[in-house]
Amino acid sequence: MIYLDYNATTPVFPEVKEAILPYLDKTFGNPSCIYSLGKEAKEAIERAREQVAHFINASPEEIIFTSGGTESNNTVFKGILWALREKGRHVITTQIEHPSVVNPAMFMMMELGFEVSFVPPDSEGVVRPEEVEKAIKKGTVLISVMHANNETGVIQPIEEIAKIAREKGIFFHTDAAQSLGKIMVDVEKLGVDLLTIAGHKLYAPKGIGALYIRKGTPFVPFIHGSGQENNHRAGTENVTFIVALGKACDLLKEKLEKKENLRLAKLRDKFWQSLCDKLEVVRFGHPQYCLPNTLFIGFKGLSGHEVLQKLPEICASTGAACQSEKAGISNILLAMGVAPSVGKGAVRFSLGYPTTEEEIDEAVNLITERLKAI
């Protein structure tokens, strides 16, 4: 098996597995309890909070732990927007967002009377700051633009859009589930007020995430109950997976500082050039403003599902993993203006830190051999 679907999910780093073992065994206390087992669990949570904060250049008190990226995005749209409802009820997002942004936005519009503007990308998958600015109106309280698209890998001009939002007094959110761990992410440099983190994209387990909330951002909890997470998110904390997320953030920060992501970019480029030399393929998304691990391409005259069926040894996707079973062209490609006849052949390959050059060579050989025979 050649795993090339790291944008869908990542394996858990061995060091992360080792770090969590004590919290599955001896250190099992409830972090709300005042005896030693509880205190040890609470201390582990706060260490992890510091690790996550350090990873994105935030303060620990600006990090709340969630069950994953979907909960974090829902918290923004159902918690932050509710807190801002007296100030205004207009939201700006984009046509290329993950469903965990699109669907909460639609809920707020259809059930609670908010107005939502969906800004389209250009033909290369880039959301232009000037188009976001045009959508601003009286009552705009939140702008949400993903940092990097999960299908194309295109990195959005977040700094420029955040500057516009800041000048207009509008809160700004970015879903960084796909960018974290692949490129450096600094909340101060980006200028965002809210940022979504998903653990299973970061070599931590599924079922853990976080939300960065800048100090001073209005907030109403999405989940109510007891006072965990400084009254921001109720429920007994998932100590084991919180520890895992913290450890994963430390490991990825080290990899990025060593520029190990550049190796992925070189492998990705080799993969693309090798396929170009042997098959009729087209690449979707901006070739420079792109995550170093992501290659979203179309095989001319074929469907993406047909391609993957011919390649059972290779794990890849036709688009977003949560919609991979749906036939037809990706909504992201439609928003970019890609013709259905071209977009139907789309397949997303995404590399990870464990990916080897030998795997890429073997993948090229398999793809070439199987598809030329069709």
Could you give phi then psi for residue 218, rounded to 5 degrees?
-60, 140
Separation CA 360–CA 229 (nearest Å): 43
Q: What is the pLDDT, as a whole number, of residue 324?
A: 46
Residue 177's nearest CA partner among 98, 244, 262 is 98
SS3 string of the chain?
Answer: CEECECCCCCCCCHHHHHHHHHHHCCCCCCCCCCCHHHHHHHHHHHHHHHHHHHHHCCCHHHEEEECCHHHHHHHHHHHHHHHCCCCCCEEEEECCCCHHHHHHHHHHHHHHCCEEEEECCCCCCCCCHHHHHHHCCCCEEEEECCCECCCCCEECCHHHHHHHHHHHCCEEEEECCCCECCECCCHHHHCCCEEEEEHHHCCCCCCCEEEEECCCCCCCCCCCCCCHHHHCCCCCCCHHHHHHHHHHHHHHHHHHHCCCHHHHHHHHHHHHHHHHHHCCEEECCCCCCECCCEEEEEECCCCHHHHHHCCCCEECECCCHHHCCCCCCCHHHHHCCCCHHHHCCEEEEECCCCCCHHHHHHHHHHHHHHHHCC
Task: List the CATH code of the domain at 14-256.
Answer: 3.40.640.10
Domain 2-9+259-372 has CATH 3.90.1150.10: yes
Residues contacting residue 161 through CB under 8 Å, at least 6 positions apart: 127, 129, 132, 143, 145, 172
Which candidate, 326, 323, 273, 325, places its Cα nearest to that of 295?
Answer: 273
**What pLDDT is recorded for position 321?**
53
d(CA 360, CA 146): 28
Distances (CA, A) of 165 to 92, 130, 193, 204, 332: 11, 12, 10, 32, 24
> Side chain identity at 293, as an amino acid letter?
N
Look up 322 and say whether it is catalytic.
Answer: yes
Each domain of the chain, given as residue ranges in start order, spans 2-9+259-372, 14-256
**CA dist., res. 175 & res. 98, Å (int):** 9
Tens-digit pLDDT profile for the chain (374 aa)? 999 999 999 999 999 999 999 999 989 999 989 999 999 999 999 999 999 999 999 999 999 999 999 999 999 999 999 999 999 999 999 999 999 999 999 999 999 999 999 999 999 999 999 999 999 999 999 999 999 999 999 999 999 999 999 999 999 999 999 999 999 999 999 999 999 999 999 999 999 999 999 999 999 988 889 889 988 898 989 999 999 999 999 999 999 999 999 999 999 999 999 999 999 999 999 999 999 999 999 998 899 999 999 999 999 999 755 544 455 789 999 999 999 999 999 999 999 999 999 999 999 999 999 998 66
The single residue of 33, 249, 276, 322 carrying the catalytic annotation is 322
